[in-house]
Structures are given as structure tokens and as C-alpha cells.
């Protein structure tokens, strides 16, 4: 039957704990990957990126890991805060275009 809408995976995390959001990408030709954060009522906001010649990149409180063997990308958020509550998207670039995943909703519990 027809789905009524995207059912976003939800990750609930206690404030102060670390969060890990996962993403499986589809195209082995993708050479560039980005994580975006989208808060309610706003546009997707760049968090961190990684190129295919790397397997790890760190930012402020965030780390992106890339496993090209299994086409897997993850975003780690250290010491999760209430302001981290949002939908997180991964994006891959197989050509001149970017392809976005469906997103994961992160809910931070007090």
C-alpha cells in the first residue's frame, strides 16, 4: 500500500551522553559527503564534511567517520545538548549533484 509519509528513524539520547547517527549511502563513486542539521522551520545547516580519501574528520563536538568498504557514514556528537535536537541528513556526491538520505530525528532527553 501507499505510505502516508516518511517514517524518520528517531534516536533518543540523554543530555550529556554521546550520540551516533548512521547513514548508508548508495553510490560507490561518491567522493564527498556532508552532514546537515535541520531544525524545525529552518533550512538544512552544514555541520561537517569529509572527502573519500579520508576515513575520519573531527570538528567541534562532532566527528564524521567514513567506511567506504561498506558504504557507511556516521556522525558522532559528543556531550549531546538540548540544542542538538533536530533532523540530521547525510548527503553524498556521486557526480555534480548531491543525494540526500531520508534523515534521522535526534531527540535529546533532559
Partner 1 sequence: DAGVIQSPRHEVTEMGQEVTLRCKPISGHNSLFWYRQTMMRGLELLIYFNNNVPIDDSGMPEDRFSAKMPNASFSTLKIQPSEPRDSAVYFCADATSGNTIYFGEGSWLTVV
User: Which residues contribute to the site for partner 1 (CB under 8 A)?
Assistant: 3-6, 32, 34, 36, 42-46, 49, 89, 91, 96-100, 102-103
Q: How far is the CB of 32 from partner 1 (least distance, A)?
A: 7
Give whichever of 13 and 90 is closer to partner 1, judged by the CB atom: 90
Q: How far is the CB of 47 from partner 1 (least distance, A)?
A: 10
DSSP string, the chain: ---SS----EEEEETTS-EEEEEE---TT--EEEEEEE-TTS--EEEEEEETT-SEEE-SSEEEEEETTTTEEEEEESS--GGG-EEEEEEE-SSSS-EE---EEEEEE-
The answer to whether the beta carbons of residues 82 and 19 sit under 8 Å apart is no
Q: How far is the CB of 61 from partner 1 (least distance, A)?
A: 19
Give whichever of 73 and 80 is closer to partner 1, judged by the CB atom: 73
Give whichever of 46 and 81 is closer to partner 1, judged by the CB atom: 46
Q: How far is the CB of 42 from partner 1 (least distance, A)?
A: 6
Amino acid at each position: 500500500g501507499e505510505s502516508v509519509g516518511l517514517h524518520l528513524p528517531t534516536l533518543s539520547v540523554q543530555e550529556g551522553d554521546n550520540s551516533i547517527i548512521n547513514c548508508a549511502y548508495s553510490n560507490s563513486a561518491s567522493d564527498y559527503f556532508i552532514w546537515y542539521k535541520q531544525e524545525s522551520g529552518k533550512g538544512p545547516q552544514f555541520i561537517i564534511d569529509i572527502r573519500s580519501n579520508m576515513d575520519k574528520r573531527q570538528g567541534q563536538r562532532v566527528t564524521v567517520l567514513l567506511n567506504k568498504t561498506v558504504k557507511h557514514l556516521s556522525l558522532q556528537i559528543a556531550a549531546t545538548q538540548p540544542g542538538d535536537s533536530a533532523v540530521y541528513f547525510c548527503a553524498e556526491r556521486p557526480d555534480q549533484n548531491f543525494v540526500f538520505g531520508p534523515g534521522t530525528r535526534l531527540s535529546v532527553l533532559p
